[in-house]
Amino acid sequence: MTRMQWLAAFIALALLPLVSGCWGRQEIEDFAFVTMAGVDLGQNPGEVMLTVHIAKPSAVAGSGVMAEERRVSIVSATGPTVGAASESLAEMLPRRITWAHSTIIAIGEEYARAGIAGLIDFLARAESTRETAVLVVVKDGTALDLMSAEHGLDEIPSTAVLGMIRNAAYITPTSVISTVNDVLKLLETPGVDVTIAGMQVRPLQAVTDPSTDTPGMLERSARSPGEPEESAGSPGMFEHAMFSPGVLKRASLSSIVEMSGVAVFRGDRLVGWLNQEQSRGFRWLRGDVVSSVVVLTDPTDSLTTVSMRAMSARTHVNTAIAGGRPVVTVQAEIRANIGDSDVPPDSDAPESSRSLKTALESVIQAEVAAMIDQTARELQSDIFGFGTAVYRASPREWQQLEGQWSDLLRQIEVDIDVHAKLPQTGLSVWGH
């Protein structure tokens, strides 16, 4: 070999360790993809039930699923913690669970009232979980209720739920979008509490067709003392589990899923709810409303109804401590258009414009005040972060107030100033 050939061979051998191989390959056939998960309290004290939607392989491939069949399988298992319940699921599935495609985390109301810190900690630490997954609390129900419900337009339930939350947050807006990462940050930030979108499953008329029953339910219990091991599940793995293959043969839906305001937390525990008007008041206060229809009664004609479409909102909030209690000043600027009216307003009459602006300002002011009354005075929850503002302005003062902040919220004094602008009336220019 020539000198150049030896040099080329040496370089090739030196580069061999840098060449990637297939030792760590992961085949798609080896994984069970979680698209949605839900957490509830178990039947026994100290027990947590974890339910997941597993996408069927044919659904991932985009073909091969009959129209009468669900696109996902529902699998549930219990354990003392969410992590333990997640490990229990492995014994029921022939594939390795991956959370990389989970977009929705549903929380039953009872579990939320007991505290969600354990769930958030699991989602922040577990392998392949997504911190961008959106959280939702099921009002007056369980996460299993939501995950068992059917949707008429979307075959993948997580897609339907995520779409409803986004519409309620951006179009109405009577809800919020809270990801795992958002909640994790709020739980670690002093002086602010968590809000999560609320949903409710409302039953419709019962379907009596026997073909509507979902077959394939499997229940397993932990082995009792002295019981042969082969007659029960592996000890310590899970106490209860069930599997639904997802057969759906039904001409109509048996329940309806709808948005239900905003879940309000104090610390990591659910303490109450905001209705739609209060939820929108919270969004006005945050100043992140991009579109919302407000229905008014024309002050100049009590028989005329006018709908105003708010196009933007800018809010400035100042928080201070005066006389030992929090004092909050809110200044909001709203830009809105006339959406529609029973009787078109007189665009040449300045008093008509002023009366509509005044009516709009009164409605927004009332919604913000109702939200603060519900959260601060009734629930003693600081969802806007008034305490955070005090902490950032004066950390020493916050140290003295932090322990009694929940009680101080009952004494909160709020001054709300709303200024509305109506630059135009739909397609006709109406500058005021």
33-47, 61-75, 404-418, range with the lowest pLDDT: 61-75
Work out whether strand 325-341 and strand 292-297 pair parallel, antiparallel, or are unpaired: unpaired
pLDDT for 164 equals: 96
Q: What is the mean pLDDT of residues 390-408?
A: 92
Do residues 194 and 102 share a domain?
Answer: yes
Do residues 240 and 312 share a domain?
Answer: no
pLDDT for 175 equals: 95
Q: What is the mean pLDDT of residues 330-335?
A: 94
How far is Cα 414 from Cα 238, in angstroms, rounded to an integer? 51
Residue 21 lies in a domain: no
Cβ–Cβ under 8 Å, residues 168 and 197:
yes
- Whole-angstrom distance between the N-terminal and C-terminal Cα of the chain? 90
Do residues 252 and 157 share a domain?
Answer: yes
**H or E stretch at 170:** helix 157-170
Q: What's the pLDDT tens digit per position in 197-243?
A: 999 999 875 444 444 444 333 333 333 333 333 333 333 333 344 44
Work out whether strand 269-274 and strand 134-138 pair parallel, antiparallel, or are unpaired: unpaired
Residues counted in the chain? 432
pLDDT for 346 equals: 59
Do residues 45 and 161 share a domain?
Answer: yes
What lies within 8 Å, CB to CB, of 225 at 6+ separation is none
Cβ–Cβ under 8 Å, residues 241 and 76:
yes
pLDDT for 337 equals: 87
Q: Domain residues for 47? A: 29-207+216-223+230-257
pLDDT for 36 equals: 96
Residue 65 lies in a domain: yes
Structure tokens at 57: 């392989």
Q: What's the pLDDT tens digit per position in 355-398?
A: 889 999 999 999 999 999 999 999 999 999 999 999 999 899 99
* Cβ neighbours, 10 Å, residue 156: 18
Do residues 157 and 300 share a domain?
Answer: no
Burial 215-246 (b: 16+ CB within 10 A, else e): eeeeebeebeeeeeeeeebeeebbbbbbbbeb
Calculate the alpha carbon distances from 201 to 196, 215, 230 in Å.
Answer: 16, 22, 39
In the predicted structure, residue 4 carries a pLDDT above the cut 90: no
Do residues 183 and 286 share a domain?
Answer: no
Residue 145 lies in a domain: yes
Map tokens 């220019």 to a residue.
429
Do residues 247 and 376 share a domain?
Answer: no
Q: What is the mean pLDDT of residues 244-270?
A: 77
Structure tokens at 35: 């698209």
5-9, 241-245, 403-407, range with the lowest pLDDT: 241-245
In the predicted structure, residue 261 carries a pLDDT above the cut 50: yes
Structure tokens at 322: 């005066």
Question: Under DSSP, is residue 420 helix (H, G, I), strand (E, B) or coil?
Answer: strand
Residue 198 lies in a domain: yes
Do residues 302 and 366 share a domain?
Answer: yes
pLDDT for 23 equals: 61
Q: What is the mean pLDDT of residues 248-256?
A: 62
Residue 3 lies in a domain: no
Do residues 365 and 236 share a domain?
Answer: no
Domain tally, the chain: 2
Query: Tell me, what CATH number does 358's domain have?
Result: 3.30.300.210
pLDDT for 185 equals: 96
Q: What's the pLDDT tens digit per position in 37-59?
A: 999 999 999 999 999 999 987 65
Do residues 68 and 189 share a domain?
Answer: yes
In the predicted structure, residue 84 carries a pLDDT above the cut 80: yes
154: buried, middle or exposed (CB in 10 Å: 19+, 13-18, 0-12)?
middle
Residue 113 lies in a domain: yes
* CA 141 to chain CA mean position, Å: 15
Mean confidence (pLDDT) of the chain: 83
* CA 427 to chain CA mean position, Å: 36
Residue 410 lies in a domain: yes
342: buried, middle or exposed (CB in 10 Å: 19+, 13-18, 0-12)?
exposed
Question: Under DSSP, is residue 196 helix (H, G, I), strand (E, B) or coil?
Answer: strand
Do residues 54 and 147 share a domain?
Answer: yes
Q: Which of the four pLDDT bands, split at 50, 70 and 90, describes residue 430?
A: very low
Cβ–Cβ under 8 Å, residues 82 and 48:
yes
pLDDT for 11 equals: 83
* Cβ neighbours, 10 Å, residue 159: 17
Residue 14 lies in a domain: no
Do residues 315 and 383 share a domain?
Answer: yes
How far is Cα 408 from Cα 326, in angstroms, rounded to an integer? 7
